[in-house]
């Protein structure tokens, strides 16, 4: 014998439950910002994209289950420093997500692992680790909410430009501007390469070298510099304080590039030229194969 269609899985009951769920979240929840992650090229081996970025933000009412404190294992002291493991469990209406996000970006059917949630009260950004889409389990034969398991976001030099100032500051506070100097010809000294992180000079101007870009011949064609003091001009020689390389500046670009900065030391992150320089001093021989001296 079939079940009574007027008491089970009735569309009227489902619509009522959905409306009540939305009303409850609007009354008891908070306005949070959903930030979808966009990818340039996903690595098929590791399943990740180091060049992912965030360009959009959607304000949505969400219910935060934590009431006394953040979840997680509190702050943990490790050999790498203090690790903050704050977690949030968030409920979000399926209908409201479709209205605010899916209608504007049809490729996003539901919240996705890897996307971000900004929590304005603590000014924290959380990353979605898991999306549960069957809880509560088919009340009146329908699903009304997503449950998001989120952990405090660890910034890894993603490009963040959402239009929300308080969110975009995550990147701007960890980046520094650099100027591009075009150089031409050959070095005026036997040294051809600059060393990343060294100080470069030109008359009364000085700066820190971030990176030297080289052409197919291996000769540098441009220099990215930061911490600029004075003014670099074209037509005058620039030289490296440590490397001794000297080149003529051909062009000074006014367009700046963004160089990642370490969030703790507030120092720009350079390439590994310094390590390479130290490796040149290591001597290997039959008497000293490991260069322990």
Task: Flag whether pLDDT at 1 surpasses 80.
Answer: no
3-class DSSP assignment, residue 52: coil
Question: What is the average per-residue pLDDT within 184-202?
Answer: 86
Structure tokens at 117: 């949630």
Average pLDDT, the chain: 82
Structure tokens at 167: 């969110």
Task: Flag whether pLDDT at 36 surpasses 60.
Answer: yes
pLDDT in tens, 96-132: 999 999 999 999 999 999 999 999 998 899 999 999 9
pLDDT value at position 61?
97
Contact 90, 150 (CB under 8 A): yes
Phi-psi region of 44 (alpha: psi -120 to 50; beta: other; left: phi over 0): alpha
Nearest to 86 by CA among 53, 48, 47, 117: 117
Lowest-confidence segment of 46-55, 104-113, 137-146, 264-273 by average pLDDT: 264-273
Name the residue with higher pLDDT: 157 or 149: 149
3-class DSSP assignment, residue 24: helix
Taking the whole predicted model, whether its pTM rises above 0.85 is answered as: no
Structure tokens at 120: 């304005």
pLDDT in tens, 42-89: 777 777 776 788 999 999 999 999 888 888 776 666 665 666 678 999
Question: Do strands 159-160 and 53-54 pair parallel, antiparallel, or not at all (unpaired)?
Answer: parallel
């Amino acid at each position: 014998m079939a079940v009574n269609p007027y008491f089970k899985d009735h569309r009227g009951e489902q619509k009522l439950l959905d409306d009540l769920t939305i009303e409850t979240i609007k009354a008891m929840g908070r306005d949070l910002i959903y930030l979808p992650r966009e990818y340039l090229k996903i690595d098929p081996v590791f399943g990740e994209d180091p060049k992912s970025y965030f360009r959009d933000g959607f304000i949505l009412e969400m219910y935060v289950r934590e009431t006394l404190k953040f979840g997680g294992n509190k702050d943990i002291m490790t050999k790498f420093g203090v690790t903050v493991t704050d977690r949030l469990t968030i409920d979000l209406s399926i209908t409201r997500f479709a209205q605010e996000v899916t209608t504007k970006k049809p490729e996003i059917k539901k919240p996705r692992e890897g996307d971000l949630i900004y929590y304005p009260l603590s000014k924290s950004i959380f990353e979605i680790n898991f999306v549960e889409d069957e809880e509560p389990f088919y009340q009146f034969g329908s699903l009304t909410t997503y449950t998001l398991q989120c952990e405090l976001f660890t910034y890894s030099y993603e490009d963040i430009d959402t239009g929300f100032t308080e969110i975009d500051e995550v990147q701007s506070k960890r980046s520094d501007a650099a100027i591009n100097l075009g150089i031409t010809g050959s070095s005026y000294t036997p040294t051809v390469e600059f060393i990343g992180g060294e100080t470069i000079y030109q008359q009364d101007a000085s700066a820190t070298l971030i990176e030297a870009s080289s052409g197919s011949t291996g000769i540098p064609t441009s220099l990215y510099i930061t911490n600029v003091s004075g003014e670099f001009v074209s037509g005058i020689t620039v030289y490296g304080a440590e490397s001794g390389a000297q080149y003529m500046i051909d062009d000074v670009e006014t367009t700046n590039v963004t160089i990642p900065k370490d969030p703790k030391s507030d120092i720009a992150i350079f390439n590994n030229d310094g390590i390479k320089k130290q490796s040149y001093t290591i001597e290997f021989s039959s008497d000293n194969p490991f260069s322990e001296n």
